[in-house]
């Protein structure tokens, strides 16, 4: 099961898993976008189940998991990728200094990024416990590992996912369920579209990426596939960072010229 499978990183993960031979339950809010993703997966010869709902609503996570397991005849792997970033009414992401942030920024992120993560993991547990090759991959973020001014609400929820991942990895280890997380850096998706399009901000962000470029959903999906696959059979409790070097200590300082920070007072 892949949540947030309609676009961006989640869609690339669904395609990577299908290429590796998985039948997939694809979850998101938008049915139309999910149908597009479904076509892509079916072209690879895999079975699909579509399951739609808003993870901000209580009860949705349990329904989505049950529908996925019923449609697939069980559940081996949960890749929980859907998350939200502070966004305006048009869905456009924005950064906001902590002191100016409020419930509009925090509440939806706490509900979806933390609340639904908890609910999905709990709902998936009985299915995963019955599988001989069970794995959970939580798509967190490098923001959960490092300081990210003006993104505090997002970073807090991503750090919470890492905390849950570590506890579940130990708690569920003897049940044969591996639990890991992925920590991408800046990836070219709808979530980061406003940052990509604002040239001074994009230049500043990329100046802190040793690889000096936006990552693609496909290269991040390859890392998620590794964590989900039997190739990672000894890996549990791990946060796999795929960030172009952002989080390497001092990696961003190695002779790369820096524009002035947009956050300078």
Ligand X SMILES: NC(=O)c1ccc[n+]([C@@H]2O[C@H](COP(=O)([O-])OP(=O)(O)OC[C@H]3O[C@@H](n4cnc5c(N)ncnc54)[C@H](OP(=O)(O)O)[C@@H]3O)[C@@H](O)[C@H]2O)c1
> Is 83 among the residues that bind ligand X (CB under 6 A)?
yes
Which stretch, 82-90, 168-176, 199-207, 232-240, contacts ligand X (CB under 6 A)? 82-90
Quick one: 231 exposed, middle or buried, by C-beta within 10 A (0-12, 13-18, 19+)?
exposed
Q: Count CB atoms within 10 A of the CB of residue 2.
A: 35
- Catalytic residue numbers? 154
Pick the closer one to ligand X by CB: 35 or 173: 35
Q: How far is the CB of 211 from ligand X (least distance, A)?
A: 14
**In the complex, minimum distance from the CB of residue 208 to ligand X, in angstroms, rounded to a whole number:** 13
Residue nearer to ligand X on the CB measure, 131 or 193? 193
The residue among 19 and 190 lying less far from ligand X, judged by its C-beta, is 190
Query: Structure tokens of 141?
Result: 């973020």
* 133-192 residues near ligand X, rule: CB under 6 A: 139, 141, 184, 186-187, 189-192
- Residue listed under structure tokens 């959970």: 136
CB < 8 Å & 24+ apart, contacts of 49-54:
49/23, 49/24, 49/25, 50/25, 50/26, 51/1, 51/25, 51/26, 51/27, 52/27, 52/28, 53/27, 53/29, 54/29
Q: Considering the rule CB under 6 A, would residue 28 count as an interface residue with ligand X? A: yes
Contacts to ligand X by CB under 6 A: 4-10, 28-30, 33, 54-56, 81-84, 112, 139, 141, 184, 186-187, 189-192
């Amino acid at each position: 099961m892949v949540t947030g499978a309609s676009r961006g990183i989640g869609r690339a993960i669904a395609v990577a898993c299908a290429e590796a031979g998985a039948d997939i339950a694809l979850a998101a809010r938008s049915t139309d976008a999910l149908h597009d993703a479904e076509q892509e997966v079916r072209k690879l010869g895999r079975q699909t189940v579509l399951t739609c709902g808003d993870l901000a609503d209580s009860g949705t996570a349990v329904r989505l998991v049950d529908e996925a397991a019923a449609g697939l005849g069980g559940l081996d792997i949960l890749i929980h990728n859907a998350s939200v970033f502070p966004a305006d009414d048009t869905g456009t992401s924005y950064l906001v200094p902590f002191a100016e942030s409020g419930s509009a920024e925090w509440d939806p992120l706490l509900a979806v990024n933390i609340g639904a993560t908890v609910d999905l993991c709990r709902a998936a547990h009985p299915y995963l416990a019955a599988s001989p090759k069970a794995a959970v991959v939580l798509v967190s973020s490098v923001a959960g590992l490092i300081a990210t001014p003006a993104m505090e609400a997002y970073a807090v929820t991503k750090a919470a996912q890492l905390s849950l991942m570590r506890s579940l990895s130990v708690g569920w280890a003897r049940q044969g369920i591996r639990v890991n997380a992925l920590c991408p850096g800046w990836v070219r998706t709808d979530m980061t579209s406003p940052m990509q399009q604002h040239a001074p901000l994009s230049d500043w962000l990329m100046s802190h990426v040793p690889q000096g470029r936006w990552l693609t959903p496909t290269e991040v999906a390859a890392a998620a596939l590794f964590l989900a696959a039997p190739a990672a059979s000894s890996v549990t409790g791990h946060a796999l960072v795929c960030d172009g070097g952002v989080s390497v200590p001092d990696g961003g300082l190695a002779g790369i010229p820096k524009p002035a920070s947009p956050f300078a007072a």
